[in-house]
Amino acid sequence: MADCARWFKAGLALLCIIGAAESKRVVKCPSGCSCSKENIICVGTSQIPRTIPSESNSLSIVNGSIAEISEGMFALMPSLQLLLLNSNSLSTIKDDAFSGKSVVGCKSFLIDAHVFIIVTQLFGGSHIFKFNEQQNKFIKFQTVEVVNISKPNDMEVFQMDGDWYFLIVDSSKAGLSTLYKWADQPERNETGFYSYQFLHEWFRDTDAELVEVDGKLYLILASRSQSPVIYLWNKGTLTFVVHSEIQNVDDVVSVKAFQVESDLFLALACYIGDSKVVKWVNKQFTEILALPSRGAMILQPFAFSDRHYLALGSDYSFTQIYLWDNETKTFHKFKDVYVQSPRSFTVVTTDRRSFIFSSSLKGKSLVFEHIFVDLSL
């Protein structure tokens, strides 16, 4: 604890400096409706509001005379999660009435000096875009075959043995987490990513992470319905084979790898029960820390210089920041910050300043600045 206390005395701080997603336009409560912070209730209305306040996620329209829901009716309500239309006169729901943004993954990569972006969506398929220098924009390059994908939840892009791959993690019971491989065979009209290997099915996979240990590549696949599975890349068959499991960890929603000095760790966020930090010891991952974390959706490691942190983000409480103690070789509680339903934490460093961006599912995305204040004088 001495090392941790030393940083406390020095006044290391994370300061919120801006609400990154703050809207410039203030949307008022719809006419004829009553609004609370997150809920809107409209009684006896004949039409659906076109816009709602950005913080609202529940819309109830009851005892009205609404007969039709037209195309794109809710396109201007990106925060809407619950819709109730009890006791109306609905007779028609047009195609694409409930379509909206459904991107779950977006990754960029470089192949032969060409810039590509892969976009994975819940609806509308997954697509690859290629940057066109003449038009100075990204244009659609390929629509990825997703026959066995039902509900993508994560996507990872990586290179192994000189070849490019990307993995779509499927979180439904009916889908298959699928590994795709880049092929460049113009004579066969095959240039792009094509399905290469199907991983296990029926397990509601949530996240994946590729790590390299002792010259070997391992893929950790997290799941809501079983312990995380570790796959080993077989250089003979050029496929992933099941290696082992991470025991005594259930309902994992995210997995993040990080290193402190030469040691490899995984941060496993669990929605129910304790989130875990595990360490690679004797060719297996061993638990070193359990963090109470009801409702956790992310356990994100990040570092500024030689200071290592964990951000435990929950849907039901403050985000808890933990700081690595070099003497005890573990993390200790550092401070709490408020982010509503955080989903990611990303470090951005300039020449003189360091920031961490936190995205929010229900509220404003926030930017925190990492500041070191010397209080020794």
Radius of gyration in angstroms for the set of CA atoms belonging to the chain, rounded to a whole number: 23
DSSP H or E stretch at residue 5: helix 2-10
Taken in order 259, 265, 271, 273, is the CA torsion positive or negative?
Answer: negative
Cα separation, 149 vs 357, in Å, equals 30
How far are the Cα atoms of 22, 69, 172, 284 from residue 56, in angstroms, in the given order? 14, 20, 28, 45
> From 3.30.1360, 2.40.128, 3.40.50, 2.60.120, which CATH number describes the 102-205 domain?
2.40.128
- pLDDT tens-digit profile of 221-249? 999 888 999 999 999 999 999 999 999 99
- Phi and psi of 187, rounded to 5°? -65, -25
Is residue 225 within 8 A of residue 241, CB to CB? The reply is no
pLDDT given at position 4: 45
Task: Quickly tell me which residue has 């010397």 as its tokens.
Answer: 374
pLDDT given at position 219: 97
Give the side-chain half-sphere CA count within 13 A for 232: 13
pLDDT given at position 2: 45
Sequence-ordered strand ranges (E) for 227-318? 229-234, 239-245, 252-260, 263-270, 274-281, 284-292, 296-304, 307-314
Nearest one of 113, 115, 105, 119 to 136, comparing CA atoms? 115
Burial 267-285 (b: 16+ CB within 10 A, else e): bbbbbebbbbbbbbeeeeb
Does this chain's domain 1-28+246-377 share its CATH topology with 102-205?
Answer: no
How far are the Cα atoms of 4, 15, 19, 304, 369 from residue 12, in angstroms, in the given order? 10, 10, 21, 11, 11
Cα separation, 313 vs 299, in Å, equals 6
DSSP 188: G
pLDDT given at position 15: 67
Residue ranges of the chain with per-residue pLDDT less than 50: 1-12, 20-24
Q: Who's near 321: CB < 8 A, 6+ residues apart?
A: 14, 309, 310, 311, 312, 333, 334, 335, 336, 337
pTM attached to this predicted model: 0.77
CATH of domain 31-100: 3.80.10.10
pLDDT given at position 18: 57
CATH superfamily of 1-28+246-377: YVTN repeat-like/Quinoprotein amine dehydrogenase (2.130.10.10)
Cα separation, 269 vs 272, in Å, equals 9
Cα separation, 208 vs 157, in Å, equals 10
pLDDT given at position 26: 64
The domain ranges of the chain are: 1-28+246-377, 31-100, 102-205
